[in-house]
């Protein structure tokens, strides 16, 4: 009997040898988000009671990335069926019932699996004549390497035949002609899955416990099987850096379209890189070659000019950025604020209408509204030991090439003369200037030139 309870198991124990990487495969990122998180977020959309991630030994970073969901370690990598079995103890509830409800098995390296497809699988499974087991199939351009789905004439799944078995047994060669392949996703009635897994052996070409053997076994036990079909793009698995790059290309294409459909203009869209969580307000215009790292929220009618890099920042409406601006985490720009070329901002809040238009570093700072930060201003926030804050009041004017040595405050409506090094607080309305007095030497330039030309 099917109920509406659901648990999800995500298989991620493979190190991903072909990535040639020191970190687990599922932590490599697409659009600023680890592969594993893409899969977890799709699973979360189904609102399951529990998600368990199966990782390999020594993959602490993957355990951390799985949080708040539970992770189990598969000590020996004995195959996909064995991997699912490692998660089962966590699916036994307090009453000792064996995974009462449905169990969905996903792969951690298949980032584009969509909640829509998973929901369709659930519907197929829960329909009156649905399958005890539902597999996800697709028709790849090249089927080599995938398990083939053999159907009966009612469309029920008879068995999955792995590539290794086709290669090892001439009698199975005909199955190699089948185009419909196994994506790997399984949706099963929990108690049935517990029993089926217990019945699987590793008597095959690879000596592995194949999860895919559950289908043939289910048929022997007169249980129903069905197949839901997805697109190749949706179930693409990432195995090496080339596939990772291809996934990035696909993700960027989706994200750009999503941003444009939501009302942002992307000029030269193919040169703009977004993160999955990038939010662009209506009528904002993004010029070519802008890169968004994680955590960027852009308000309405903002303009971000070419070659700017933004991460972890929030822009109120009508802000203008770049070209060549760098906004680092903790940057907050008020309405209509302007950050110009070669300006870096980190952990700083600028009030409405504040401007820093050229060659400036604002770190650990607060800048009041309508303040004007001259070219070449540096907030000296780090003394080699700790970080300190600079506070600049509303409408203050900081002259070019000034160093503000934090901790320091410049009051509202104050002026700092160009070329000053400010180490003490400047009160509201006052003017501070620290540069040496200028000397004027009458005809000095002329005499200097004469001396030089005589020498030569
Ligand atoms: C598997 C399927 C195949 C399907 C293909 C789709 C089996 C036997 N075969 O083959 O039918 O067409 O995926 O890509 O299931 N994993 C573990 N522990 C293990 C083994 C694997 O966690 O002991 C994880 C891997 O990290 C990976 C997933 O399970 O995320 C699939 O394993 P993989 O070795 O890639 O299986 P395939 O041979 O590709
Ligand atoms: Mg694989």
For residue 184, the ligand closest to its alpha carbon is: 1
Q: Which mutation among 8, 12, 14, 149 tests ligand 1's pocket best, with the greatest number of atoms within 8 A of CB?
A: 14
Both 304 and 213 in one domain: the answer is no
Is the predicted pLDDT of residue 41 greater than 60, yes or no? yes
268 & 377 share domain: yes
What is the distance in A from the centroid of ligand 2 to the CA of 91? Answer: 25
**Ligand 1 site, residue 83, Cβ cutoff 6 A:** yes
Q: Please indicate, yes or no, if residue 173 is contained in any of the structural domains.
A: yes
Which residue minimizes the CA distance to atom 10 of ligand 1? 146
For ligand 1, say whether the CB of 163 is within 6 Å of any of its atoms: no
Q: What is the mean pLDDT of residues 326-340?
A: 98
234 vs 101: CA distance, rounded Å: 26
Question: Which is more confidently placed, 59 or 93?
Answer: 59
Q: Which residues lie closer than 8 Å to 118 by C-beta, 6 or more apart?
A: 42, 43, 45, 46, 104, 185, 187
CA dihedral 252, 253, 258, 261 (to 10 degrees): 140
Residue from 38, 56, 80, 175 whose mutation best tests the ligand 1 pocket (most atoms within 8 A of CB): 80
- Bridge partner residues of 355 (DSSP): 338, 372
Q: 23-50 burial, b if ≥16 CB within 10 A, otherwise e? A: ebbbbbbbbbbbbbbbbbebbeebebeb
Ligand nearest to the CA of 215: 1
Q: Nearest residue CA, atom 3 of ligand 1? A: 147
Residues 147, 282: one domain? no
- Active-site residue numbers? 358
Do 36 and 97 meet the contact criterion of CB atoms below 8 Å apart?
A: no
Percent pLDDT > 70 in the chain is 99
Tell whether 213 and 291 lie within a shared domain. no
The answer, yes or no, to whether residue 131 has pLDDT greater than 90, is no
Whether residues 173 and 27 fall in one domain: yes
- Residue 418, pLDDT > 60, answer yes
**CATH label of the domain that carries residue 331:** 2.160.10.10
Rounded mean pLDDT of 85-98? 83
CATH (domain of 69): 3.90.550.10
Is residue 450 a part of any domain in this protein?
no
* pLDDT for the residue 2: 46
Structurally, the chain folds into a number of domains equal to 2
405 — pLDDT class (breaks 50, 70, 90): very high
pLDDT on residue 128:
87
Tell which atom from ligand 1 comes closest to the C-alpha of 164: 38
Residue 165 Cβ contacting ligand 1 at under 6 Å = no
Nearest CA to ligand 1 atom 39: 146
CA of 74 to the centre of ligand 2 (A): 17
- In this predicted model, what pLDDT tens digit does every residue of 184-198 receive, in sequence order? 999 999 999 999 999
- Please tell me the distance between residue 80's alpha carbon and the centre of ligand 1 in angstroms: 6
pLDDT digits (tens, 9 = 90+) for 427-439: 999 999 999 899 9
Is residue 236 a part of any domain in this protein? no
* Minimum CA distance residue for ligand 1 atom 11: 147
| Rounded distance from Cα 210 to ligand 2 centre (Å) | 12
The arithmetic mean of pLDDT across residues 315-330, rounded, is 98
How many beta carbons lie within 10 A of that of residue 163, not counting itself? 18
pLDDT digits (tens, 9 = 90+) for 341-362: 999 999 999 999 999 999 999 9
What is the pLDDT of the chain when averaged over all its residues?
A: 96
Residue 151 Cα, ligand 2 centroid: separation in angstroms? 22
Residues 103 and 200 grouped into a single domain: yes
Per-residue pLDDT of 203-245, as tens digits, reads 999 999 999 999 999 999 999 999 999 999 999 999 999 999 9
Verify whether ligand 1 is closer than 6 Å to residue 66 (CB atom). Answer: no
Domain match, 191 and 85 both: yes
DSSP 8-class letter at 176: G
Domain that holds residue 65: 6-229
Q: How confident is the model at residue 4 (pLDDT cuts 50, 70, 90)?
A: confident
């Amino acid at each position: 009997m099917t109920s509406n309870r659901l648990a999800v198991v995500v298989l991620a124990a493979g190190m991903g040898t072909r990535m040639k990487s020191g970190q687990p495969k599922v932590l490599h990122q697409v659009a600023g988000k680890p592969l594993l998180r893409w899969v977890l977020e799709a699973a979360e959309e189904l609102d399951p009671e529990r998600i368990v991630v199966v990782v390999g030994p020594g993959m602490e970073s993957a355990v951390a990335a799985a949080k708040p969901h539970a992770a189990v370690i598969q000590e020996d990598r004995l195959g996909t069926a064995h991997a699912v079995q490692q998660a089962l103890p966590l699916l036994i509830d307090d009453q000792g019932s064996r995974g009462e409800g449905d169990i969905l098995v996903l792969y951690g390296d298949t980032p584009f699996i969509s909640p829509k497809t998973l929901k369709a699988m659930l519907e197929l499974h829960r329909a009156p004549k649905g399958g005890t087991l539902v597999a996800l199939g697709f028709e790849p351009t090249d089927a080599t390497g995938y398990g083939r789905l053999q159907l009966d004439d009612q469309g029920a799944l008879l068995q999955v035949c792995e590539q290794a078995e086709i290669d090892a047994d001439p009698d199975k060669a005909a199955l190699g002609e089948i185009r419909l392949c196994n994506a790997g996703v399984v949706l099963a009635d929990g108690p049935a899955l517990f029993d089926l897994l217990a019945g699987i052996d590793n008597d095959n070409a690879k000596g592995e416990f194949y999860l895919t053997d559950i289908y043939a076994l289910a048929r022997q036990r007169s249980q129903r099987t069905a197949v839901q079909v997805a697109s190749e793009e949706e179930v693409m698995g990432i195995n090496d850096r080339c596939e990772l790059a291809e996934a990035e290309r696909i993700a960027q294409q989706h994200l750009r379209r999503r941003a444009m459909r939501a009302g942002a203009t992307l000029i030269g869209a193919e040169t703009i890189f977004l993160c999955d969580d990038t939010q662009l307000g209506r009528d904002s215009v993004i010029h070519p070659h802008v890169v968004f790292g994680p955590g960027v929220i852009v308000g309405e009618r903002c303009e971000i000019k070419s070659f700017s890099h933004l991460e972890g920042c929030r822009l109120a409406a009508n802000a203008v950025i770049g070209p060549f601006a760098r906004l680092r985490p903790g940057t907050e720009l008020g309405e209509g604020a302007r950050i110009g070329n070669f300006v870096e901002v980190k952990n700083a809040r600028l009030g409405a209408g504040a401007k820093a238009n050229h060659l400036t570093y604002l770190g650990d700072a607060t800048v009041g509204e309508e303040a004007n930060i001259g070219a070449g201003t540096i907030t000296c926030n780090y003394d080699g030991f700790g970080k300190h804050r600079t506070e600049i009041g509303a409408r203050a004017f900081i002259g070019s090439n000034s160093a503000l040595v934090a901790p320091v405050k410049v009051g509202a409506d104050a002026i700092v003369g160009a070329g000053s090094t400010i180490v003490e607080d400047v009160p509201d309305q006052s003017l501070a200037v620290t540069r040496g007095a200028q000397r004027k030497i009458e005809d000095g330039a002329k005499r200097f030139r004469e001396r030089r030309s005589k020498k030569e």
